[in-house]
Structures are given as C-alpha cells and as structure tokens.
Structure 1
Amino acid sequence: MAQKNSSTITELVLVGFSNHSRAEIPLFLLFSLVYLVNLFGNTAIIVLVVIDSCLQTPMYFFLCHLGFLNIFYTTAVVPKMLFNLLALKKVISYEFCLAQTYISLLMGAAECIILAIMALDRYVAICYPLRYLLIMNWSMCVQLAVGAWTVSFFASVVPLHFTIVPFCGPYVIDHIFCEVPVLLHMICADTSLQETIMVIGASGILLLPFLLITLSYLCILVAVMRMHSAEGRKKAFSTCSSHLTVVTIYYGTGMFMHMRPKSLYSAQGDKFISLFYAVINPALNPLIYSLRNKEVKGALKRVLERLAVSQRQKILS
C-alpha cells in the first residue's frame, strides 16, 4: 500500500462496518434498497418536471438540480460502500478517495445554496404573488442555478485543492467514505490551518444560506399571519412544509459534521451521521416532496394515465 507520503499512496483501508461483520449482509441489502429508492425517486422527479408542463415552474426547476446532485453524490459514495460490505479486502484507491472528498464537498455546498434559493423562491411566491413570474423568470432561474454551482466550486473545491497535504500512516480510514473531517486525522503536520479553513468555509457555505433561509421564512411567516383566509394560510404553509423538512434534516447533520473541532470527532457516531446526510437523506428528499405535494402527485397521475391510454391504443391497434 502506501509508503512515505501521499505521492506514493496507492490504496487506503476503508474500515466501514467491518467491525460489525455479522451486520454487513443485512446492511448491504438495506443500503442497496435505499440507493435504488434514491435513484428511482430523484430520477422520477426530474422526468416528471421535464414531461409535465404544470411542473415547469421555478420551484421544480431547482428541485431538479437538487435531485441531480443527490444522485451524483450518492453514486460517488454508495456503490463503493456496498462493494466493501461484501469484499474481504476493504480498500479504496487514493485517487478515488480524493475524488469522493471533492465530490462530497462540492455537492454539499451546492445543496446548501440551492436550498437557500428554493427558500427565496417560496418567499417571492408568497409575499409577492402577483410579481412572482416577473421576478422569478427563466433567465433569473438559470442565472441563480449557474451562480449556485459556480460559487459552490470556488468555495469548496478550490480551497480544498490548496490545503490537501501529505498523509501519515497507518493509512486507515475509520469511516464509510472519504470526506474532509475524516482525512484531517491522516495529515502528518499540524492541522490548525486546515481546521480553520474548514470552519470558515462551512460558515460561509452553511451559515450564510441558513441565515437567508431563516430570514425568508420569517418574512413568509409574517405574510401568512396577515392573511385573512384560513385556507390561504394553510395553502401557504403546505407549499413550504416539504422544503422546511429537508432543510431541517440536512442542516442539522451538516452543521454538526463540518462545524466542530477535530477533538470532538467520534468514528462510530460520525459514520451514522454521514450515513444520514449522504445516503438516507437523498433518498428521503423525493419522498418528502412527492408524498406531501399535491402537484407532484397530480403530475404523476396524469403521466400514468397518459401511459395507460397509450398502452390501450397500442393493444387496440
């Protein structure tokens, strides 16, 4: 495996759940199911938005971006984790480990910003309903999406590239995949600079969007409380509930994982936290948005009806 420094590393041991060998097969089956739900659910949301004109609105445009990054993120993590659950030699190549680190950081940053944009979208829709389509026009949506991915790249990937330094042996990662908080424990030198950069970066990528989300929902709450119609208030809250649920789950785990000193690291605890925001949460997102959203359920019903009609016509012809 590795010798003196990171330039000679070929493989690292990825411990995963090897300490619980009896649970590996059940975990393989469980995480395979979760991964399939993630792939099917997020792909279904994207396809529905593309083929159903009723869903071609700013909110669902950004939901497609969320679905894409959920698929991409988990695909960088889960297949290797599943392979290692069955493999006798539980390793990961140095290059793929770094790739997982870059991808997880980029996708995590993008999700924070896109969730903030979605909160801003809900604020405009509820507080300025008559000007909503004028403000959130397609040109603005595309600019916001491009801006989100660009800022995410320069705020996560670029700083990480300049702070990665040689690792020290033993080259063992007691985690389920490679991400920054875990790799800090393998750096030979003092990691104070890396920890500071991570906290500053997390403050910008996590806290600023979170503050924007909080401010947006405070304004929404004020606007909803001023509504005279109980039905109007109920409808306004229902359009925000799915997004609020996703934000609460994602930010709760993300802030704990990335905004704390290395001294608070706990291998076993962090495995479960990472599992939640990198594996389980991406599978929950499409379920949360579909099961609690009449528009998505309506679009799915229309698509299924069209497919049924098309199928009957083929049979009759």
Structure 2
Amino acid sequence: MGREKQTWVSEFILLGLSSCWETQVSLSVLFLAMYLMTVLGNFLIILLIRLDSRLNTPVCIFLSVLSLVDICSINSTVPQMLIHFLSAQKPIPFYSWVLQLSISLAVSSTEFFLLEAMAYDRCVAVCHPLHYAVIMHGGLCLGLAAGCLVAGFMNSLMETIITFRLLPCHGVINHFACAALAVLRLVCVDIYFNKVMVMASVFVVIMLPCSLVLFSCGRMVVAILHICSTQRRSTASGTCASHLTVVCICFGATIFTYLGPRSASSVEEEKMVALFYAVVAPVLNPLIYSLRNKEVMAALYKFLEKFRDKG
C-alpha cells in the first residue's frame, strides 16, 4: 500500500492488558499502590539529598538524577493505564501518543546511560579509592549527568521522527501504552529503514552501556579479590551486586524485548516485559541503590527522627 492510499489516524485504541473487568480493577489497585510507592520513594530520595549537605557526593548526584528519571518514567505510562483500567474503551489521541512515546523513550534512554555512569563511578571508587575525589570531581559528575540527559533526549527525538514519518494503516494496538515496536506493527509500507535505525539505537543505547556496566563490574570483581579488609570487601561486593541486579532487571528486560525470538506469543510476552520495565523497575531502583548506601540511610533516619520530634 503506497503512502498516497494511507489515511490519517487521529485516534488509537489500546487493547490493554486484559478485557476482564475484575482483573482490570485488581490491576488498577495494584498499580496505583506501586505508582504511589515509586513517586513518594524517589521524591524522598531527592529531598534527602537536597536537604543533607553530607550527601553532596558523586554517587548521590547520580542517585537524585536516577530518581527524577524514574518519576518521569512511571508518570509517562501509569496514570493513563489507571484511567484505561476503569474505561470500557481505551482511546488515546495521535498527538498524545506521540508525546507519550517521546517521553518514555527519552527517560528510558537516559536511564541506560545513567546506569553506565553510575557503574563507572563505583568502579573508580573500588579500583582507585585514593584518587576517587580527584577523578570524580563535581564538574565531571554534573557533566556526565547532563550528557546522559542530552543523549537520552537526542535518541528519543531521532526514534520519534523516524517512527511517525510513517502513517499507520489502522488504529487498534495490542499494547497498554506507546511502544516503538507496537507502532511499527501498524504500518503497511516497508519499514526496513526503521528496523535498521531501531537496531542501531539498541546497540548504542542498550548493548553498549550494558557491556560497559558489565566491564566495570568485572574490574570491581578483580579489585575485590585484592582487598584485604573484610569490611571494604563486603562494601565493594554489595556495590557490584547492585549493578548486576540492575543489569538483569533493566537491561535484561529491554534486550529481551528488542532481540528476543519472534513468535505468535511474542507480542504478549513483549507486553509483560514492557510492563515489568515500566512499573516494577522504577520501584526497585531506589531500593537497590539507596538501601545499600549508608549515607542515604543515615540521612533518612535523621529525617524521620526530626519528623517524629516535631509530631
């Protein structure tokens, strides 16, 4: 079908996760609880780092940016999902869909680059502890954080433009939110160029950061084996374990979505993996990183004590 025969689709209908009303109500309660946990938990981390001057460290700068990214990530999808759970129809206007896709791509891309920067920071802390303050100075940390944001938004702009230069043939989408692969399945014309660009983006945004995170973890493992102090070895091992956990959760889920085997059930599997990344990962990230950070936990206890005393 040529472009001249395509019709403009002004609204899309999402099929969502389930057509059963009872299931949708149950999911809405569950996702609302997870949404509130994510927003409040990440906002608390940002507040603690902002209020406590002792947390003005490189790792906490990255943590605050990661928390902001997680808040934006879950807000790009879950509020709409909660509304659709309680609706018979699940419409979304074309321009709203473009906006949601661009935001979700931007925050997810930023997160992958940010996880790479955080792994590098911890690698320097473990492998070069005496030179850590000199290497990871404030200017470098702010530059890395800003670079992650710029790179994420540039990737989102590129993917959004090449995706929506093609007009979809119909407006019914088997997904719960905007996703690049779901959009491409609606197009009736040749999408070879789009597939090439998506694979290039997967390599730069996902595979390359994942490889560098694993390389940093490998460097940390080698350094840990040479640490004599039991306490330092335990701390370094916990740091490495945190990054490996995030690799499995964030990178693993996304790599499966883009590079996993295509089959008749792959669309449903893709939805489940996307759901895990969109809803579960933002809840786990602050727990994985912040609960292992002694300075953040000390600031949290201090904040709770002040709040209790005022009460």
Normalising to structure 1: TM-score of the pair? 0.91
Amino acid in the other structure paired with 1:268: E
1:315 corresponds in structure 2 to none
Spell out the pairing of 1:108-147 with structure 2 (5 A cutoff). Answer: 108-147=108-147
1:150 corresponds in structure 2 to 150
Q: Distance in 1 between matches of 2:153 and 2:109?
A: 8
* Cα gap change, 1:264 to 1:253, in 2 (>3 Å): farther
1:235 corresponds in structure 2 to 235
Given the alignment of the two structures, is residue 258 of structure 1 paired with residue 226 of structure 2, yes or no? no
Aligned residues: 307
1:48 corresponds in structure 2 to 48
Question: Post-superposition shift, 1:284?
Answer: 1.4
Q: Return 5+ residue gaps in structure 1 as ranges.
A: 313-317
Spell out the pairing of 1:134-283 with structure 2 (5 A cutoff). Answer: 134-260=134-260, 266-283=266-283
1:19 corresponds in structure 2 to 19
* Cα gap change, 1:168 to 1:263, in 2 (>3 Å): farther
Question: Post-superposition shift, 1:242?
Answer: 2.6
Question: Post-superposition shift, 1:210?
Answer: 1.1
Q: Distance in 2 between matches of 1:5 and 1:84?
A: 28
Q: 1:256-301 CA deviation, whole Å, 9 max, x = no partner?
A: 1123576677222122111100111101112223334333221110
Q: 1:92-122 CA deviation, whole Å, 9 max, x = no partner?
A: 1111111121112111111110000000000
Question: Post-superposition shift, 1:136?
Answer: 0.7
2:107 corresponds in structure 1 to 107
Question: Post-superposition shift, 1:217?
Answer: 1.2
Q: Distance in 1 between matches of 2:64 and 2:300?
A: 15
Question: Post-superposition shift, 1:169?
Answer: 3.4
Question: Post-superposition shift, 1:184?
Answer: 0.8
- After superposing the two structures, state which structure 1 stretch, 55-64 or 31-40, moved more: 55-64
* Cα gap change, 1:286 to 1:279, in 2 (>3 Å): same
* SS of structure 2 residue aligned to 1:298: helix
Q: Distance in 1 between matches of 2:72 and 2:161?
A: 20
Q: Distance in 2 between matches of 1:211 and 1:123?
A: 14
Q: Distance in 1 between matches of 2:288 and 2:163?
A: 37
* Cα gap change, 1:156 to 1:263, in 2 (>3 Å): farther
Given the alignment of the two structures, is residue 295 of structure 1 paired with residue 300 of structure 2, yes or no? no
Q: 1:211-247 CA deviation, whole Å, 9 max, x = no partner?
A: 1111111111111101122222112112333333222
Question: Post-superposition shift, 1:157?
Answer: 1.7
Q: 1:136-169 CA deviation, whole Å, 9 max, x = no partner?
A: 1111111111111112222332243134233333
Q: Distance in 2 between matches of 1:104 and 1:278?
A: 9
Q: 1:80-101 CA deviation, whole Å, 9 max, x = no partner?
A: 1110000122111111111121
Task: Give yes or no for contact 1:100–1:179 (8 Å, CA) kept in 2.
Answer: no
Q: Return 5+ residue gaps in structure 2 as ranges.
A: none
Amino acid in the other structure paired with 2:197: I
Q: Distance in 2 between matches of 1:102 and 1:196?
A: 19
Q: Distance in 2 between matches of 1:50 and 1:119?
A: 22
Question: Post-superposition shift, 1:73?
Answer: 1.3
